C-alpha cells in the first residue's frame, strides 16, 4: 500500500514483479529517463496522473507503445598510450582505458595491432580477453528418492558458498521451474491419449499404455475438452494405464485431443506458484515452499550473487525426479559445489542411433551411441544380440566392454551365413543391470557381397541401327537379391573411347529384364557389349557378350509366331493363321519383363516393330505334309497375309504345318510345326 492507503501496483498479492519498475515525479515534470534497462528486452511504458482526492487516473500509453534498447558496438578505448618497455628490446607498453560505452553488452576482448607503418598494411594482431569472456561453470542439481519410491511433493533448499560466505536459499519446490519468466506457467503435452468421462475421477490411456513412469501424483493437468478451460485437475494416484484425479472431471467425454501437464501458474494467494517471499500476512512458509523458480530462489541471495543465475531443467525422470543445470553469471564462480542429494541409480535407458550395415558376405556392423540416461551410474558394457527371428527366441550375443574411445561405438558381427537376414539389438549395462534393448535401423540385414556376373550373354544383330543383347541370371546373387542389370556398349573393347551417345553408353534395367535392344546405332561402326549384375553391394564383374562385338545391318525376319491350324469348313481342308514375328531372327527378345515378351522398337522414322530385320516382310511361305511322310513330300505356297486355307487334302489325315517370313534379305527360319487334321466326314 502507498501513503494514500491505496494499492501501489496492479500485482496480485503474493507475486513479485519481474522487470517492472515505477517512479513518482513532480506535477511540473513532463519527461523522465528510465535507467538500468536490459539491452535487447522489450519494455512497455504507461503514464498516469494522481491527485490527493481520487488517486490515480487511467493509464495513457506513449507512441510507440514499446521499445527495445538495442545492442551496439562499443565506443573506442580511451586514453590509449604507447611507451618503451624498460629493460626489454623486443616489446613495447600499450596502455588504455575502457570505452565510455560498452554498447549494452560486456566487453569480451580488446584487440591490439602493431605495425611499422601508419597504414597498418600487415599488422601484428593480439587479442586480450576480458573476464566476461570466460566460460562460466555449470552446476547440476538433482532430486532423488530412496529405493523405488516416487516424489509426490515437498521442497528442498540449496547452500551456496561464494568467497568464503555461505548462504541458504528459501525452500524450493521439488518440481520448480527453471526461470522466473516460467513462474506464470509452462506446460508440456503428454504423449499418451487420455479418455475421460464427465463426473468420473478416472482417466485412462487409449490405446492402453503404462503411465506409471510418465504421470505422477501431485501433477496438475488440463484437458482440451474440459468445461472450465483454466481449471487444473490434480492427479491423486497412478496405476498401470489409469490415473485418478482428486476431483471429478467435467467436460466433453471421450478421447481428448490434447492433455497438458502444467508447472508454475497464477492462482489465489494460497495456490499461486509465482515466487513470493515470506510475509506473515501475504506469503506463508507453506506458500513460499510451493512457489517460485530455481532462478528466483537463488537470486534472492543478493549479497553473494550480484549478477544472478541462468538455469534449465529436465524431467520428470525416474521416480518423478528432476535435474536442474545452473550457471552463475557473476565474473567469478561459486567456490564449492551446490549441495543436494543425488538421483537414485536405475538401469540405463536404451542406446541411441543404433544402425546396421553390411561389411562382407559373412559380416555385419552395428553402430550405436550412448544412452540418453545412464541411470545415475557409469555404463560398464553393452550387450549386442543377433538372431534369425525377430523375437530373439534363439540368439547369439557378444559383449562390448572397451569404451575408452567414447561414443559412437561399433561391433563387427562375424561368422554369419551369406544371404540370411539377421535381427540385431543392443542394450546397455550399469551396476543396476541391463536397460531396455534398442532394435537397429534397419531392424535386419542379410550379409552379402557382389554377385557373380550374368551368364549366357548373347549379342545379336537386329536391324541396320539396332543390336540386341540377352543374358541369364548369375550363378550366385552374392547373398542379396539382384536389383538391376547394367548393359554397357562402346566402339572400343576398352570401353574408354571418345565416342558420344548413342555410340557409347550404358543403361540400367530392372531385375525382371533379361534382354535389351540398343537403338540409333551406326551401320559403319562395330560395337562391343558387356553386361553387369547389381545388388546392394554394387556391380558385379562384367561379362562380355558372345560374340564380343557386332555391326548393325539389315537382317532376315524373325520366326512368325502364334501359328494355329484347325480343320476347314470343306472336306479335306485345313485353315491356318499366324502373326508377324515378335522376336528377331537371332532368337533374343528385344526386351522382356520376366516371361512376357515385349515388342521390338520401331526403327527411327518407322512404325513397324524391328522384328522384321529392318526390312519389310513381303511374303510368308507355308509348308505342309502328311505327318507320316518325310520332308521330301512337303508342299509349299506363299501368302501375303496371315491366313491360308489348304484344300484337296486327304480326309481325316493329320498334317504337319509350319511357316516362315521373307524379306529382301532372304528367308527367316521356319516356325515349330503344328499338327492339324484335315476336315473329315
Res. 604: pLDDT tops 60:
yes
Mean pLDDT, rounded, of the chain:
87
E strands within 370-483?
Answer: 381-387, 395-400, 409-413, 422-430, 433-434, 438-445, 455-461, 467-472
103-109: which pairs have CB atoms within 8 A and are 24 or more residues apart?
103/71, 103/72, 103/73, 103/74, 103/75, 104/39, 104/40, 104/69, 104/70, 104/71, 104/72, 105/39, 105/71, 106/130, 106/132, 107/74, 107/132, 108/132, 108/133, 109/133
Per-residue pLDDT, averaged over 175-192, amounts to 89
Question: What span, in angstroms and rounded, lies between the C-alpha atoms of 590 and 587?
Answer: 9
Residue 339's pLDDT band, with cuts at 50, 70 and 90, is very low
E strands within 251-335?
Answer: 254-255, 259-263, 309-314, 323-328
Res. 665: pLDDT tops 80:
yes
Angle formed at CA 124 by CA 120 and CA 126, multiple of 5 degrees: 120
Asked if 279 and 155 sit in the same domain, the reply is yes
Closest CA to 583 of 552, 558, 603: 558
Closest CA to 487 of 536, 540, 532: 532
555 located within any domain: no
Cβ atoms of 204 and 242 closer than 8 Å: yes
Lowest-confidence range among 134-143, 152-161, 273-282?
134-143
Report the domain count for the chain: 6
Cβ-count burial 534-554 (b if 16+ within 10 Å, e if not): bbbbebbebbebeeebbebeb
3 by Cβ neighbours in 10 Å (0-12 / 13-18 / 19+) ranks as exposed
Question: What span, in angstroms and rounded, lies between the C-alpha atoms of 247 and 249?
Answer: 7
627 by Cβ neighbours in 10 Å (0-12 / 13-18 / 19+) ranks as middle
Q: What is the CATH number of the domain that holds 210?
A: 2.40.30.180
Question: What span, in angstroms and rounded, lies between the C-alpha atoms of 518 and 532?
Answer: 16
pLDDT at residue number 453 = 95
Asked if 565 and 659 sit in the same domain, the reply is yes
User: What string of H, E and C letters represents the secondary structure of 148-189?
Assistant: CCCCCCCEECCEEEECCEEEECCCEECCCECCHHHCCCEEEE
Per-residue pLDDT, averaged over 111-118, amounts to 83
String of DSSP letters for 199-267: T-SEEEESS----TTT--TT-EEEETTBSSTT--EEEEEEETTEEEESS---B--EE-S-EEEEES---
Lowest-confidence range among 83-87, 309-313, 355-359, 604-608?
83-87
567 located within any domain: yes
Highest mean pLDDT among 24-33, 632-641, 656-665: 656-665
Question: What span, in angstroms and rounded, lies between the C-alpha atoms of 548 and 676?
Answer: 42
Lowest-confidence range among 37-46, 495-504, 553-562, 563-572?
37-46
Domain C-terminal end among 110, 133, 156: 133
Cβ atoms of 529 and 462 closer than 8 Å: no
Res. 139: pLDDT tops 50:
yes
pLDDT at residue number 332 = 47
How confident is the model over 631-642, as pLDDT tens digits? 788 999 999 999
Res. 304: pLDDT tops 80:
no
513 located within any domain: yes
11 located within any domain: no
Asked if 179 and 302 sit in the same domain, the reply is yes
E strands within 342-380?
Answer: 352-360, 363-369
For residue 602, the tally of other CB atoms under 10 A from its CB is 13
Q: Name the 3-class secondary structure at 111.
A: strand
Domain C-terminal end among 245, 263, 281: 263
The boundaries of the domain holding residue 282 are 138-183+270-328
419 located within any domain: yes
Lowest-confidence range among 253-267, 411-425, 453-467?
253-267
How confident is the model over 76-89, as pLDDT tens digits? 999 999 888 887 77
Lowest-confidence range among 373-382, 534-543, 574-583?
373-382
Asked if 509 and 573 sit in the same domain, the reply is no
Asked if 176 and 281 sit in the same domain, the reply is yes
pLDDT at residue number 69 = 81
Res. 1: pLDDT tops 50:
no
Asked if 225 and 276 sit in the same domain, the reply is no
Q: Name the 3-class secondary structure at 329.
A: coil
Closest CA to 147 of 319, 274, 312, 17: 319
Helix, strand, coil % over all residues of the chain, rounded to 5 = 5, 40, 60
1 located within any domain: no
Cβ atoms of 447 and 362 closer than 8 Å: yes
pLDDT at residue number 577 = 96
Per-residue pLDDT, averaged over 419-425, amounts to 95
Domain C-terminal end among 415, 445, 475: 445
Asked if 576 and 668 sit in the same domain, the reply is yes
Res. 137: pLDDT tops 90:
no
Per-residue pLDDT, averaged over 296-317, amounts to 80
Residue 327's pLDDT band, with cuts at 50, 70 and 90, is confident
* Strand-strand pairing, 635-639 and 666-667: unpaired
Cβ atoms of 651 and 681 closer than 8 Å: yes
Asked if 383 and 316 sit in the same domain, the reply is no
Asked if 573 and 654 sit in the same domain, the reply is yes
How confident is the model over 437-473, as pLDDT tens digits? 999 999 999 999 999 999 999 999 999 999 999 999 9
Residue 416's pLDDT band, with cuts at 50, 70 and 90, is very high
Question: What span, in angstroms and rounded, lies between the C-alpha atoms of 156 and 224?
Answer: 33
pLDDT at residue number 133 = 55
Q: What is the DSSP letter of 454?
A: P
Question: What span, in angstroms and rounded, lies between the C-alpha atoms of 39 and 60?
Answer: 24
Calculate what percentage of the chain has a pLDDT beyond 70.
92
Res. 305: pLDDT tops 80:
no
28 by Cβ neighbours in 10 Å (0-12 / 13-18 / 19+) ranks as exposed
Calculate what percentage of the chain has a pLDDT beyond 90.
53
Per-residue pLDDT, averaged over 34-51, amounts to 83
Asked if 168 and 286 sit in the same domain, the reply is yes
Residue 163's pLDDT band, with cuts at 50, 70 and 90, is low
Kindly list the distances between the CA atom of residue 267 and the CA atoms of 181, 184, 275, 408, 550, in Å, as whole numbers in the listed order: 16, 9, 12, 48, 90
Q: What is the CATH number of the domain that holds 667?
A: 2.60.40.10
Residue 646's pLDDT band, with cuts at 50, 70 and 90, is very high
334 located within any domain: no
Res. 433: pLDDT tops 90:
no
pLDDT at residue number 343 = 42
Question: What span, in angstroms and rounded, lies between the C-alpha atoms of 411 and 364?
Answer: 8
Asked if 390 and 375 sit in the same domain, the reply is yes
46 located within any domain: no
Lowest-confidence range among 77-86, 256-265, 615-624?
77-86
Res. 110: pLDDT tops 90:
no
User: What string of H, E and C letters represents the secondary structure of 635-654?
Assistant: EEEEECCCEEEECCCCCCCE
Asked if 501 and 480 sit in the same domain, the reply is yes
More confident of the two residues 629 and 473: 473
Amino acid at each position: 500500500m502507498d501513503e494514500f492507503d491505496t494499492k501501489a501496483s496492479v500485482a496480485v498479492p503474493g507475486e513479485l514483479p519481474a522487470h517492472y519498475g515505477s517512479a513518482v515525479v513532480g506535477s511540473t515534470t513532463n519527461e523522465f529517463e528510465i535507467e538500468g534497462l536490459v539491452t535487447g528486452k522489450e519494455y512497455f511504458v504507461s503514464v498516469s496522473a494522481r491527485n490527493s482526492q481520487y488517486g490515480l487516473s487511467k493509464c495513457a500509453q506513449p507512441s510507440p507503445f514499446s521499445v527495445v534498447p538495442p545492442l551496439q558496438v562499443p565506443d573506442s578505448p580511451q586514453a590509449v598510450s604507447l611507451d618503451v618497455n624498460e629493460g626489454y628490446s623486443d616489446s613495447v607498453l600499450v596502455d588504455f582505458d575502457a570505452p565510455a560505452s560498452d554498447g549494452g553488452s560486456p566487453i569480451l576482448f580488446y584487440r591490439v595491432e602493431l605495425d611499422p607503418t601508419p597504414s597498418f598494411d600487415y599488422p601484428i594482431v593480439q587479442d586480450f580477453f576480458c573476464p566476461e569472456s570466460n566460460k562460466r561453470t555449470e552446476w547440476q542439481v538433482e532430486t532423488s528418492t530412496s529405493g523405488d519410491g516416487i516424489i509426490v511433493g515437498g521442497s528442498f533448499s540449496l547452500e551456496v558458498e561464494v568467497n568464503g560466505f555461505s548462504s541458504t536459499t528459501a525452500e524450493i519446490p521439488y518440481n520448480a521451474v527453471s526461470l522466473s519468466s516460467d513462474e506464470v506457467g509452462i506446460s508440456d503435452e503428454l504423449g499418451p491419449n487420455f479418455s475421460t468421462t464427465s463426473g468420473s475421477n478416472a482417466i485412462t490411456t487409449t490405446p492402453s499404455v503404462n503411465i506409471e513412469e510418465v504421470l505422477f501424483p501431485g501433477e496438475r493437468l488440463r484437458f482440451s475438452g474440459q468445461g472450465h478451460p483454466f481449471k487444473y485437475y490434480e492427479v491423486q494416484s497412478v496405476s498401470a494405464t489409469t490415473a485418478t484425479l482428486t476431483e471429478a472431471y467435467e467436460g466433453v467425454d471421450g478421447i481428448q485431443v490434447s492433455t497438458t501437464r502444467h508447472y508454475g501458474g497464477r492462482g489465489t494467494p494460497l495456490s499461486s506458484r509465482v515466487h513470493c517471499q515470506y510475509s506473515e500476512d501475504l506469503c506463508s512458509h507453506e506458500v513460499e515452499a510451493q512457489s517460485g523458480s530455481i532462478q528466483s530462489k537463488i537470486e534472492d541471495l543478493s549479497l553473494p550473487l550480484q549478477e544472478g543465475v541462468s538455469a534449465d531443467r529436465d524431467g520428470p525422470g525416474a521416480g518423478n525426479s528432476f535435474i536442474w543445470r545452473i550457471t552463475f553469471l557473476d565474473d567469478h564462480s561459486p567456490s564449492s559445489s551446490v549441495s543436494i542429494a543425488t538421483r537414485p541409480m536405475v538401469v540405463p535407458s536404451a542406446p541411441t542411433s543404433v544402425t546396421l550395415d553390411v561389411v562382407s558376405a559373412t559380416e555385419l556392423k552395428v553402430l550405436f551411441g550412448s544412452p540418453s540416461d545412464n541411470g545415475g551410474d557409469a555404463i560398464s558394457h553393452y550387450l549386442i544380440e543377433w538372431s534369425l527371428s525377430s523375437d530373439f527366441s534363439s540368439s547369439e550375443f557378444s559383449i562390448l566392454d572397451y569404451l575408452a574411445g567414447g561414443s559412437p561405438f561399433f561391433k563387427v558381427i562375424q561368422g554369419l551365413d551369406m544371404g540370411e537376414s539377421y535381427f540385431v539389438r543392443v542394450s546397455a549395462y550399469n551396476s543396476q543391470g541391463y536397460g531396455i534393448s534398442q532394435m537397429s535401423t534397419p531392424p535386419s540385414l542379410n550379409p552379402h557381397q557382389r554377385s557373380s556376373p550374368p551368364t549366357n550373354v548373347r549379342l545379336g544383330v537386329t536391324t541396320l541401327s539396332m543390336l540386341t543383347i540377352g543374358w541369364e541370371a548369375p550363378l550366385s546373387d552374392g547373398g542379396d537379391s539382384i536389383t538391376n542389370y547394367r548393359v554397357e556398349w562402346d566402339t572400343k573393347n576398352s570401353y574408354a573411347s571418345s565416342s558420344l551417345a548413342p555410340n557409347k553408353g550404358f543403361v540400367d534395367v530392372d531385375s525382371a529384364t533379361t534382354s535389351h535392344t540398343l537403338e540409333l546405332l551406326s551401320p559403319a561402326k562395330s560395337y562391343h557389349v558387356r553386361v553387369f549384375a547389381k545388388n546392394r553391394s554394387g556391380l558385379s564383374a562384367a561379362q562380355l557378350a558372345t560374340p564380343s562385338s557386332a555391326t548393325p545391318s539389315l537382317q532376315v525376319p524373325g520366326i512368325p509366331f502364334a501359328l494355329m491350324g484347325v480343320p476347314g469348313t470343306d472336306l479335306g481342308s485345313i485353315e491356318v493363321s499366324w502373326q508377324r514375328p515378335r522376336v528377331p531372327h537371332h532368337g533374343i527378345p528385344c526386351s522382356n519383363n520376366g516371361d512376357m515378351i515385349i515388342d521390338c522398337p520401331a526403327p527411327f522414322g518407322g512404325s513397324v516393330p524391328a522384328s522384321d530385320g529392318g526390312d519389310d516382310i513381303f511374303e510368308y511361305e507355308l509348308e505342309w505334309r502328311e505327318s507320316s511322310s518325310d520332308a521330301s513330300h512337303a508342299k509349299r505356297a506363299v501368302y501375303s497375309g496371315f491366313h491360308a486355307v489348304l484344300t484337296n487334302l486327304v480326309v481325316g489325315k493329320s498334317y504337319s504345318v509350319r511357316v516362315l517370313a521373307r524379306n529382301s534379305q532372304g528367308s527367316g527360319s521356319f516356325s515349330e510345326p503344328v499338327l492339324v487334321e484335315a476336315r473329315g466326314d
